[in-house]
A and B are shown apart, each in its own frame.
Chain A
Amino acid sequence: MASAIELRGVTKRFLTPSGGVYTALHDLDLAVEPGEFCAVVGPTGCGKSTTLALISGLEPASEGEVEVFGKPVRGIASGIGYVFQSDAVFPWKTVLENVAAGPRYHGSSTRDARAAAREWIARVGLAGFADRYPYQLSGGMRKRVALAQSLINGPQILLMDEPFSALDVQTRSLMENELLSLWSSTSASVVFVTHDLEEAISMSDRVFVITAAPGTVKSNYRVDLPRPRNVAEIRFQPRFTEIYEEIWNDLRDEVLVSYERQKRSGAA
């Protein structure tokens, strides 16, 4: 069976403002099976977000191939959802209009789009907030809006870029559980970028460790913890600790490399 997402020998270079070339990703291979929940962890600035930009088609790869369901990615394809790290809900639209945006852009009538949006708003627990503007919501509620906004399009692939990093710890584990239960009712493959190894393990089937920049996949681990999971409690299982230690041994070196580099460039 074809992988949902496949990156083969992908390199991504950016031009820096000073005219130099910065290699964010180098010869990266990564495959995600249909319906799989994958986490991508790595030190800051290792190109985790770039990986998502390549899969979504927001950025083209400099070298190598990016395929989604066996087809090469050329520009933004439909069937992809993307939840951004910072708030990307439209501040001038109400919750209802924000969630209804996707179907409307895909040609639904305003009425159908709104009906579908109301359903999704209820599903993410925001019924009664449909007419609010984003500034009137808490950070966690805005994330729910972003989730509903992405999921309403019925994506086959859901890309998430540290979506919960700005939330407080309690809201965060609530949202993680909610994401898992929403995801379990779909068949979407998820690529979940995070710098938090605990979050990565507790949510995913597979964890990719990316090296310090230029990023490439250092190793990947299967997480054989049973589902359905409760992210707040799964951390206490002995198996969780085992997996954590295993992956952390890998990740630690990369984090140290990245840290040393930052210190040096800070001193220079």
Chain B
Amino acid sequence: MNVRSAAARLRAPVSAPVEPKARAGIDLTSTRARDVRRRRLAVLGLQLLVAVVWLGSWEVTTRLGWVDKFFFAQPSEIALKLWTWFTQGTELGPLWDQVLTTMEETVGGFIVGSLFGVVFGVALGRIRLLADVLSPYIKAANAIPRVVVGALFAISLGLDIKSKIATAAILVFFVVFFNAFQGVREVDRNLIANARILGAGNRRLTTEVILPSALSWITASLHTSFGLALVGAVVGELFGATSGVGELIYSAKNNFDADGVFAGMALLAAIALVAEALITALETRLVRWRPQVNTEARI
């Protein structure tokens, strides 16, 4: 029996003495809300503490000369570097242009790779013969360390954005493809039977049952694949480029500028975090029909 129904029962004979009990119910919820708030603050505080200890010890050990800052950089120098890039631009041009280039390559590769992955995954999942014929080739292609094709694309597609998009796309493709394929294979037999009984033809079956069902697998892979798209874009830039965060890191490396390399990494991390938030938003939109799961614990 909950507090409220107890209160309601007691209220019938005498009304006045029940009041404190009713208030106890409200107290309970407000206590709970306070606990949740307190916990969130504690987590935030600890997160800040980790950052302070990590960056602080890094700063102190490099300043004291225990760790060579020529090789391992220094937080304050990295921050300064970022600030200089931000205010005065980089050696490749304004910072914003570099970030934008890398973003374009990443998003482009992500979209191209995901589309191909979904189309091929669904097609092979639906058509048994196609899957049986192509599976050894796909497995072989998947076994190759795929970043090396970036070199091939740099030759064949040139040093502009196309080769980076292609490199990113090929990394994304396999992840999305395997998830879409598996998603199609795992569709509940009952749902397919139900749709067919209700009168769905093959096309409806694909668009209304198989695709939505596979979508939860596909969206789960988008988190991983966006990270890979970023890897593809940066690796593509390392193989040769005129702008982009990867190129920024590459030129910093050529100048033995450890601070520049770390500053580039910080930029990439920021891009990845923003993208992660966007993908989570996209995911909640795409799979609105699923009970909301707590994704905070995911790393």
A residues with a Cβ closer than 8 A to B are: 56, 58, 76, 78, 80-82, 84, 86-94, 101-102, 105-106, 133-135, 149-150, 153
* A84-B190, A101-B208 known; A133-B195 Cβ under 8 A: no
- On chain A, the residues within 8 Å of B198 by CB distance are 101-102, 105, 149-150, 153
- A94→B194 CA distance, assembly (Å): 16
- On chain B, the residues within 8 Å of A80 by CB distance are 197
- On chain A, the residues within 8 Å of B194 by CB distance are 82, 84, 88-90, 149
Which residue in chain A gives the minimum CB-CB distance to B196? A76
* A88-B190, A135-B290 known; A76-B208 Cβ under 8 A: no
- Spot the interface stretch: B22-30, B35-43, B199-207: B199-207
- A105→B202 CA distance, assembly (Å): 11
In the assembled complex, the CB of A107 is this many whole angstroms from the nearest CB of chain B, namely 9
- A82→B208 CA distance, assembly (Å): 19
Total residue contacts A-B, CB cutoff 8 A: 63
Q: Is the CB of A56 within 8 A of B212?
A: no
- A103→B287 CA distance, assembly (Å): 25
Which residue in chain B gives the minimum CB-CB distance to A84? B190
Q: Is the CB of A102 within 8 A of B289?
A: no
Q: Does B298 contact A (CB under 8 A)?
A: no
Q: Is the CB of B289 within 8 A of A105?
A: no
Q: Is the CB of A91 within 8 A of B290?
A: yes
Q: Does B9 contact A (CB under 8 A)?
A: no
Q: Is the CB of A91 within 8 A of B197?
A: no
B residues with a Cβ closer than 8 A to A are: 188, 190-191, 193-201, 204, 208-209, 212-213, 215, 287-291
In the assembled complex, the CB of A234 is this many whole angstroms from the nearest CB of chain B, namely 30
| 18 A–B contacts from the bound complex (CB under 8 Å) | A58-B193, A76-B197, A84-B190, A84-B193, A88-B188, A88-B190, A92-B215, A94-B289, A101-B195, A105-B195, A105-B199, A105-B201, A105-B204, A133-B289, A135-B289, A149-B198, A150-B198, A153-B198
Q: Is the CB of B197 within 8 A of A93?
A: no
- A53→B147 CA distance, assembly (Å): 50
- A134→B195 CA distance, assembly (Å): 16
Q: Is the CB of A81 within 8 A of B288?
A: no
Which residue in chain A gives the minimum CB-CB distance to B292? A135
* A90-B208, A90-B212, A92-B212 known; A81-B290 Cβ under 8 A: no
Q: Is the CB of B190 within 8 A of A153?
A: no
Q: Is the CB of A81 within 8 A of B199?
A: no
* A82-B194, A88-B191 known; A135-B291 Cβ under 8 A: yes
Which 3 A/B pairs are nearest by Cβ-Cβ distance?
Answer: A105-B199, A88-B194, A92-B212
